[in-house]
């Protein structure tokens, strides 16, 4: 249960897991250890947005281990240990959780970023098309709240493959291809991939969208970051370049107007 100076509550995926933890006094025990300085932070690992939200409501965790990859985000559905599927919750529910974590300063450490390897092979990928390690890692890193991606390696060869991410060109990490095979509920929602770059007016479209989405759920830090941007939504010249390039068909010209209006009225 302990991770160096971390007290960890592992694998809370069903309401009964959560009740057991509470009943056994584990949460109280961890809080006591934290008060005594034995553990400095409390973490939680789970695959289930609903239960993570319940624990977040208690305000006791500092970090979350959570499974994030395009298959889980866009597949929806139920937790199914038999098929090793953790695709729990709708896209909106999962994105809202990431934003909540960022807004509340709970860092996410990502697990299952290759969906247990399924996404790396077109025969096993739920999309019928494979993604690369670089694309999956970048996808996870772009989600709000994410600090690290934990990758399982079977040996040196796996490690060397994964470490290539550090030197990979931007194009190799571009995962926007998922826009062509993700389901309809992915349409029209910015996933901050920046495939639409470059913007001729110099806007960082992905970042502006991310700061806005976080700000509307109460993340004051994100609003602050937005205000510090040199080029903001008001600089959009409505050239339409990003709309044409966006695989998720996000209507950015309208969105930039909305973002600008939001920040103008919340000054
Ligand atoms: S507008 Fe589209 S291409 Fe640009 S960052 Fe958002 S999702 Fe990606
Ligand atoms: S429509 Fe606006 S945000 Fe999009 S590329 Fe043109 S100037 Fe940039």
Q: What is the pLDDT of residues 38-71, one digit of tens each?
A: 888 899 988 888 889 988 998 989 999 999 998 8
End-to-end Cα, the chain, rounded Å: 45
Taking the centre of ligand 2 as the mean of its atom positions, its distance from the CA of residue 263, in whole angstroms, is 18
Q: How confident is the model at residue 255 (pLDDT cuts 50, 70, 90)?
A: very high
Q: What pLDDT score does 76 carry? A: 53
The four Cα atoms 212, 214, 219, 222 give a dihedral, to 10 degrees, of -60
Q: Cα–Cα distance between 153 and 159 in angstroms, integer? A: 6
Q: What pLDDT score does 16 carry? A: 74
Q: Cα–Cα distance between 112 and 89 in angstroms, integer? A: 16
Q: Cα–Cα distance between 193 and 248 in angstroms, integer? A: 10
Locate the ligand 2 atom nearest the alpha carbon of residue 198 and give its number.
Answer: 5
The residue ranges of DSSP E strands in the chain, in sequence order, are 2-3, 6-9, 41-46, 63-67, 107-111, 146-149
Q: Structure pTM? A: 0.78
Residue with tokens 């700000």: 215
Residue nearest atom 8 of ligand 2, based on CA coordinates: 199
CB 187 within 8 A of CB 243: no
Q: What pLDDT score does 159 carry? A: 92
Q: Cα–Cα distance between 89 and 94 in angstroms, integer? A: 6
**Is the distance from the beta carbon of residue 194 to the nearest atom of ligand 1 less than 6 Å?**
yes
Taking the centre of ligand 1 as the mean of its atom positions, its distance from the CA of residue 180, in whole angstroms, is 13
- Structure token digits, residue 31: 């809080």
CB 106 within 8 A of CB 56: yes
Per DSSP, 13 falls in state -
Collapse the DSSP code of 110 into the 3-class scheme (helix H, G, I; strand E, B; otherwise coil) and give the result: strand
CB 13 within 8 A of CB 47: yes
Query: Per-residue pLDDT averaged across 180-199, rounded?
Result: 81
Taking the centre of ligand 1 as the mean of its atom positions, its distance from the CA of residue 141, in whole angstroms, is 15
Residue with tokens 């690290």: 148
**Coarse DSSP helix, strand, coil percentages of the chain, rounded to the nearest 5 percent:** 50, 10, 40
Taking the centre of ligand 1 as the mean of its atom positions, its distance from the CA of residue 174, in whole angstroms, is 11
Collapse the DSSP code of 251 into the 3-class scheme (helix H, G, I; strand E, B; otherwise coil) and give the result: coil
Q: What is the pLDDT of residues 98-131, one digit of tens each?
A: 999 999 999 999 998 998 788 888 887 777 789 9
Residue nearest atom 2 of ligand 1, based on CA coordinates: 246
Query: Per-residue pLDDT averaged across 26-40, rounded?
Result: 87
User: What residues flank ligand 2, with Cβ below 6 Å?
Assistant: 199-201, 203, 205, 236-242, 252-253, 256
Q: What pLDDT score does 11 carry? A: 63
**Is the distance from the beta carbon of residue 190 to the nearest atom of ligand 1 less than 6 Å?**
yes
Q: What is the pLDDT of residues 63-94, one digit of tens each?
A: 999 999 988 887 654 545 544 555 677 788 89
**Is the distance from the beta carbon of residue 165 to the nearest atom of ligand 1 less than 6 Å?**
no
Taking the centre of ligand 2 as the mean of its atom positions, its distance from the CA of residue 114, in whole angstroms, is 32
CA neighbours within 13 Å on the CB side: how many for 6? 13
Q: What pLDDT score does 2 carry? A: 44
Residue with tokens 């009943």: 23
Nearest ligand to the CA atom of 201:
2
Does 232 score more than 90 pLDDT? Answer: yes
Nearest ligand to the CA atom of 200:
2
Locate the ligand 1 atom nearest the alpha carbon of residue 179 and give its number.
Answer: 7
**Is the distance from the beta carbon of residue 212 to the nearest atom of ligand 1 less than 6 Å?**
no
Locate the ligand 2 atom nearest the alpha carbon of residue 202 and give its number.
Answer: 8
Contacts (Cβ under 8 Å, ≥6 apart) of 49:
88, 89, 93, 94, 96, 97
């Amino acid at each position: 249960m302990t991770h160096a100076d971390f007290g960890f509550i592992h694998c809370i995926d069903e309401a009964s897991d959560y009740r057991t933890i509470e009943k056994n006094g584990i949460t109280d025990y961890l809080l006591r250890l934290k008060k005594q300085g034995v553990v400095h932070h409390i973490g939680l690992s789970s695959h289930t947005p609903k239960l993570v939200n319940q624990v977040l409501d208690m305000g006791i965790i500092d970090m979350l281990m959570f499974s994030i990859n395009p298959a889980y985000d866009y597949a929806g559905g139920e937790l199914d240990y038999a098929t090793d599927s953790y695709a729990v919750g709708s896209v909106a529910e999962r994105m809202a959780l990431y934003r909540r974590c960022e807004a509340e300063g709970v860092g996410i450490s990502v697990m299952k970023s290759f969906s247990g390897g399924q996404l790396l092979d077109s025969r096993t990928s739920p999309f019928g098309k494979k993604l690369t390690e670089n694309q999956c890692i970048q996808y996870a890193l772009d989600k709000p709240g994410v600090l690290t991606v934990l990758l399982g390696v079977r040996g040196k060869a796996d490690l060397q493959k994964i470490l290539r991410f550090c030197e990979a060109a931007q194009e190799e990490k571009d995962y926007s291809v998922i826009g062509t095979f993700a389901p309809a509920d992915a349409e029209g929602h910015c996933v901050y991939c920046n495939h639409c770059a470059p913007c001729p007016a110099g806007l960082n479209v992905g970042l502006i969208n991310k700061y806005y989405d976080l700000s509307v759920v109460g993340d004051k830090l994100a609003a602050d970051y937005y205000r510090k941007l040199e080029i903001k939504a008001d600089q959009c010249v409505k050239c339409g370049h990003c709309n044409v390039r966006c695989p998720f068909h996000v209507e950015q010209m309208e969105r930039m107007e909305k973002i600008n209006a939001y920040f103008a009225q919340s000054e």
